[in-house]
Amino acid sequence: MSRPLRIEYENAFYHVMNRGRGRDNTFLSDDDFKYFLYSIEQASLRFNIEVHSYCLMTNHYHLLIKTPDANLGRAMKHINGLYTQYFNRAHNIDGALFRGRYKAVLVDADNYLLHVSRYIHRNPIETSTPMVDDLAKYKWSSYSSFIKRGATPKWLVRDFIFSLQGKKRQYAAYKQFVEYENNEEISAFYSSKKLLSVLGCDNFIENIKDYIAKSNSERKLVSKKHSADDVISYIAKHFSVEVDDIVMAKKGRKEKNLPRWYAIKLCQDLTELNLQALADIFNVKHYSAISKTVCRLNALMIENKKVKLQLEELRGCLMSEVKI
């Protein structure tokens, strides 16, 4: 039997899941859960992935991941491998821990990401025997962070999920949303005996088909071929500002510094630099500030189509300068 198709491209969203071999437990102690979260953190730094939701159960896990660098396979190999090594060492066993290849569902972010996040967070009470009576009490899920009831890992990205709701009282609104049961379409999708590789509307699926049909040479046209200096210099020249106005974070600045936001987003998309490297370039103390800036820009683009068009124009101009 052939393996399901892996569709990887820049800035794609995936619902990634895997369970223990033979349905055996993959987490036996609090230390196990903590180390898996550490493995996620290491992958986010090394491979520049963004984690938008997670839920670790006793014998499986769910992750909602965005891949700015089209490298899901490498990131998941790192997470699963690092954790398996730890688990075998900690529990004095040997061999594979997970049931073969992880599953990854490519998600249409505009139409389904919010629902997938809810599905992931409802896992502890959707089992035949609920693990908690209150989702906020489940320690190994990002749900408590989304409703401001627990500490938030620095690598967890929440703003984009919140932006999809478009409501001011984001924590209360998300809590109310998750308390509703999963809708019928989502429930039917995940209860299917053969899980599909894509969850999206017709237009999204058609666009994915177009991507799959591209030749390898065409895909190279969108590969990383810029330096951060190239991107920053271009943005500075385009907006007639100094480079320092882009790379230096100004404290107490109330207005949106769009040239800086654009530069951060395009450096993330068009270079091979990870979040920590970008944090150093843009003079912020922690790499999470890069993800937060990108999330603010993503939210702004949803509200203001002119901002989105301007970003795409800048991207197009930079891409046209690529020398193959």
Which tens digit of pLDDT belongs to each residue from 199-217? 998 888 888 876 665 534 3
At 16-51, the pLDDT tens digits run: 999 999 889 999 999 999 999 999 999 999 999 999
Which is higher by pLDDT, 264 or 168? 264
DSSP 103: E
Backbone angles phi, psi at 205, to 5 degrees: -65, -40
Res 118 pLDDT > 90: yes
Instruction: List the Cα angle 10/39/101 in 5-degree steps.
Output: 65
pLDDT band at 4 (very low <50, low <70, confident <90, very high): low
pTM beyond 0.85: the answer is no
Q: Give CA–CA dist 35/30, Å, rounded.
A: 9
Pull the structure tokens for residue 140. Answer: 């190994």
Question: What is the separation, in whole angstroms, between the first and last Cα of the chain?
Answer: 37
Q: How many CB atoms neighbour CB 6 within 10 A?
A: 12
Residue 88 CB-half CA count within 13 A: 12
Q: Give CA–CA dist 173/67, Å, rounded.
A: 27
DSSP track, 50-69: EEEEEEE-SSEEEEEEEETT
Which is higher by pLDDT, 235 or 287? 235
CATH of 218-320, one of 1.10.1750.10, 1.10.3720.10, 2.40.50.1040, 1.20.1730.10: 1.10.1750.10
Contact criterion met (CB below 8 Å) for 145 and 158:
yes
Share of the chain above pLDDT 90, in %: 60
Instruction: List the Cα angle 72/22/107 in 5-degree steps.
Output: 30
Range list for CATH 1.10.1750.10 in the chain? 218-320
Q: How many CB atoms neighbour CB 271 within 10 A?
A: 22
Class of domain 12-213: alpha beta
Comparing CA positions, the residue from 237, 227, 266, 15 lying closest to residue 119 is: 15
Range list for CATH 3.30.70.1290 in the chain? 12-213
